[in-house]
A = this chain, B = another copy of it.
């Protein structure tokens, strides 16, 4: 559940380094919010972070939690689980397949691989619960978005 103390310290250090490098101010709020996410392994949502941070900083606002989390996300200090900020998407393809998802535009394409279908999960996973499906998610930037991003560079 909890992340090791040393690991948390390392993350905090990295956090401070990045904020300084980016010229972003180091406020308690930001520290406490990041620490809270860094110290737990249970992928909390904004509301949960808010509740926990409140214990140390009774006056934080939910708004700040949201703003900070997205800031941290933009700085590469945290990531979101699953497709962020997106609406729910549906899929009628019931056969075993995997996904390539573009982080910029959300473009998603199925791909197949008998190789991947044979994936062996570590034993530790079995102890977590009953496994129903396993699929590989590849995050990246689709061709379209790559093109549109470097319209000048031709070197």
- List chain A positions with a Cβ less than 8 A from chain B: 3, 11, 34, 37-38, 41-47, 49, 69, 72-73, 76-94, 99-100, 102-103, 108-113, 115-116, 119-122, 124-125, 127-146
Contacts and interface: CB of A to CB of B under 8 A. Distances in A.
Interface of A is mostly: mixed
A13 to B, nearest CB: 13
Given A42-B108, A88-B84, A134-B136, A100 B122 contact: no
Contact of A81 (B11, B46, B99): B99
B82 A102 contact: no
9 contacts: A37-B91, A41-B110, A84-B88, A111-B124, A121-B136, A129-B142, A133-B138, A134-B138, A135-B136
Contacts of A80: 88-91
How many copies make up the complex? Answer: 2
Contacts of A87: 45-47
A53 B37 CA distance: 42
Given A83-B81, A136-B119, A91 B131 contact: no
A121 B134 contact: no
Contacts of A111: 121-122, 124-125, 128
A77 B91 CA distance: 9
Contacts of A109: 41-42, 128
A88 B113 CA distance: 29
B81 A89 contact: yes
A129 B143 contact: yes
Contacts of A76: 94
